[in-house]
Amino acid sequence: MFLTLILATITTTFASEPVGKRHIYKTVGDRELVLYVTTPDDWKPSDQRPAIVFYHGGGWVGGKPGQFTEHSKYLASRGMVAVQVQYRLLDRKSDDPPTTCVHDAKSAIRWVRGRADKLGIDPDRIASGGGSAGGHLAAFVGMVEGSDDPQDDVSISAKSNAMVLFNAVFDNGPDGWGHQRVKERYKEFSPFHNVSKDDPPSLVFLGSADKLMPVKTAFDFKAAMEKAEVQCEVMIFEGKPHGFFNYGRDGNKPYYETVVAMDKFLASLGWLAGPPTLKAPSP
């Protein structure tokens, strides 16, 4: 529970207000769940642009859309459509599994893909991105079958086409983060335990001083992905703790380095053209 509170605090501390157009993507009872779509200046609904759907961190119990506001603005400046998602949070006092979180994560992808012709998006170039527990959701939608919200139109795929994972807690097995919530059902929730040849290419960022996600786990994940013949890049940032990548932290040097690497990764897939345009932070 203590580590979960740390996750929620880190995410809230570095979250900005979300940018872009607000849309209701799902209604659960009397609650409306929203997402925010940021588009390039020259965007048109008829475009076929690549997109990325971001999920905030917070241990599945905290956080809010806005953690990836600066990432969204930058990627929009590079020609992508960026989306930040609100999802239902778990009760801190419970030990419930993140069923509603993964339901909402998949619903959001389906909403975006199902409206690609109105959002100016190529439905076959939708990445998922996220940090910490949001990184888990980003990996989940790319790798784990099932766990669909019963009200979803499952004829629309919820599978992302690439993954950008910022210290994602994607191992929920007996030795991984969040196991106290998923328990013996961990294979239903843990991306690490669902690696297959159909997984999308991924980029993983991790600090060597992260106490929630061991460096070994990241490289074990990479090895499993490569055994399945799936592209997986891992970047380790020496001495950096959990949440090191957030905008506003450490003079924005880690933010700059991770965003430039993300840009190059997306460019390697043919989704972006030209070199990164993000300006380096002042010394």
Query: What tens digit of pLDDT does each residue of 130-187 get?
Result: 999 999 999 999 999 999 999 999 999 999 999 999 999 999 999 999 999 999 999 9
Please give the CATH number for the structural domain made up of 2-268.
3.40.50.1820
pTM to 2 decimal places = 0.94
How many CA atoms, within 13 angstroms, populate the side-chain half-sphere of residue 91?
4
∠ Cα 34 40 42 (to 5°): 130
Phi, psi of 136, deg, nearest 5: -60, -45
Q: What is the pLDDT of residue 2?
A: 43
Distance CA 18, CA 168 (A): 21
Q: How many residues make up the chain in this entry? A: 283
Over the stretch 222-267, which tens digit does the pLDDT of each residue have? 999 999 999 999 999 999 999 999 999 999 999 999 999 999 999 9
Using the structure block, give the residue that is written with the tokens 């996600």.
213
Q: Which helix (H) or strand (E) holds 180?
A: helix 179-182
Confidence of residue 1 (pLDDT cuts 50, 70, 90): very low
Nearest to 53 by CA among 146, 153, 123, 151: 123
Query: What whole-number distance in Å separates Cα of residue 9 and Cα of residue 177?
Result: 17
Q: Using CB atoms within 10 A of its CB, is residue 91 exposed (0-12), middle (13-18) or buried (19+)?
A: exposed
Under DSSP, the state recorded for 251 is: G
- List the domain boundaries for the chain: 2-268
Number of H-type helices and E-type strands within the chain: 9, 8
Distance CA 193, CA 228 (A): 13
**Percent of the chain whose predicted confidence (pLDDT) is above 70:** 95
For the stretch 203-215, pLDDT in tens is 999 999 999 999 9
**Long-range contacts (CB closer than 8 Å, 24 or more residues apart) made by 40-43:** 40/76, 40/77, 40/78, 40/79, 40/80, 40/81, 41/76, 43/81, 43/120
What is the average pLDDT score of the chain?
95
Tokens 């843990």 locate to: 190
Closest by CA to 11, choosing from 120, 183, 135, 113, is 135
